[in-house]
Amino acid sequence: MRKVLFLMLIAVAVVVGVLFFGGDRTERADTIIINDGLFAEMNIIHHMVRELVEAHTNLRVEIRDEMAPPVLFSELIAGRSDLMNSYDGTLLTTFLHLDPFDVPEGVRLFDFVNEKGREMRGVMLLDKLGINNTYTIATTQEIAERYGLETISDLARVSETLIFGAEHDFFTEEGSAKFGPFSEFYGLRFREVRQIDITLKYPAIQAGQIDVTVVYATDSMNRAANLKILADDRNFFPEYNGALLVRTDFFDKFRETAPNLRQVLAKLEGIFTNEDMIGLSYEVDINRRSPAEVAREFLQQKGLI
């Protein structure tokens, strides 16, 4: 009898705990959960979301540990987080496993992938933030001046004298925006092609161990390394427009606590240029300032908080 009574008391304690402490934190309608990204750009944007939401609603925002994009997406669709910074190109190719060639002619990639995101995984992109963090090709200022390089097409006539190097991911066969299709599209025949660790890419090009590499358009290291970005004059690489990614039930979940949430997040629409984001990321990556401080300062300058 005592054992039965003891088990009943435990059961009551568990129920009371769930009622009072809310069980899974992700189900609380007063807190937006964000798992952070691995790069300064995502860190900064996530902190901007927290600043805006906590300044203009009754919600609080909890930013948790950093994760790689595929894990961030898995956590989002599983309901263990509520929001993440992403890109239309990433949603298309990495999360939905589609290809730019799947986008019908005359349809914007952003609109197409947003529709498919809703249909296939129950997610949607909010307004564009203004940045296009696509792949782009870079070389040193010295090589660009020596050969008169302004575009990737210019590179084709001298590629046989140059060494191309990039991280392993750029040489995989997943998706069309990779080295094989890219080099064939532009007719590039490099003297040598090297796969290098992503952390060694910028030191390698600065040391002259490679001559050309692939970078993200808004990476602060492009400025730190004083690289020359070559224009994608034939538009090979798809757009990677930055936007907040949420589940389709996101606003319903917080409707009672923050009925103005959509309008608050819309304050980030078109807020950046690529140069803005390069500068912000530079402050974090190179000058070692905190993403929270950089985010708050930028929003204050814009008069948003």
The domain that holds 275 is classified in CATH as 3.40.190.10
C-alpha 111, offset from chain centre: 18
What domain range is 66 assigned to? 28-133+240-301
Residue 10, in any domain of the structure:
no
- Shared domain check, 127 and 264: yes
**Rounded Cα distance, 86 and 73, in Å:** 9
Judge whether 278 lies within some domain.
yes
> Do 250 and 171 share a structural domain?
no
Looking at the chain, the whole-number percentage of residues with pLDDT higher than 90 is 81
Is 5 within the bounds of a domain?
no
**What is the pLDDT at residue 16?**
39
User: For residue 2, is it within any domain?
Assistant: no
What DSSP element (H or E) covers 36? strand 31-36
pLDDT at 132: 94
Same domain, 43 and 189: no
The pLDDT of residue 93 is above 70: yes
Per the domain annotation, does 74 fall within a domain? Answer: yes
Q: Single out the residue in 177, 202, 230 at which a domain terminates.
A: 230
Q: 154 pLDDT exceeds 60?
A: yes
Together in a domain, 126 and 246: yes
pLDDT band at 13, cuts 50/70/90?
very low
What does the pLDDT average to over 238-254?
A: 96
Q: Decide the pairing of beta strands 83-87 and 241-247.
A: antiparallel
Domain boundary pick from 207, 230, 253:
230
Residue 18 has pLDDT above 50, yes or no: no
Is 160 found in the same domain as 279? no
* Final residue belonging to a domain, choices 230, 253, 288: 230
Structural domains of the chain, count: 2
With tokens 């609080």, the residue in question is 60
Same domain membership, residue 249 and residue 129: yes
**Could you tell me if 273 and 141 lie in one domain?**
no
Residue 22 lies in a domain: no
Q: Give the whole-angstrom CA distance, residue 144 versus residue 221.
A: 18
Average pLDDT taken over every residue of the chain = 90
CA distance linking residue 32 with residue 82, whole number of Å: 6
256 & 166 share domain: no
Q: Is residue 23 part of a domain?
A: no
Residue-level pLDDT at 246: 98
Instruction: Please write the tens of the pLDDT for every residue from 162-200.
Output: 999 999 888 876 667 789 999 999 999 999 999 998 889
Reported in sequence order, the residue ranges of 123-209 that DSSP labels E, i.e. its strands, are 123-132, 135-140, 163-166, 192-195
178 plus 96 within the same structural domain:
no
H or E segment at 83?
Answer: strand 83-87
Task: Check: CB of residue 261 under 8 Å from CB of residue 57.
Answer: yes
pTM score = 0.81
Q: Which two tokens stand for residue 295?
A: 């985010």
In which residue are the tokens 């994608």 written? 232
Look at residue 235 and tell me if it is in a domain.
no
Same domain, 113 and 181: no
> Are residues 123 and 53 part of one domain?
yes
* Same domain for 244 and 129: yes
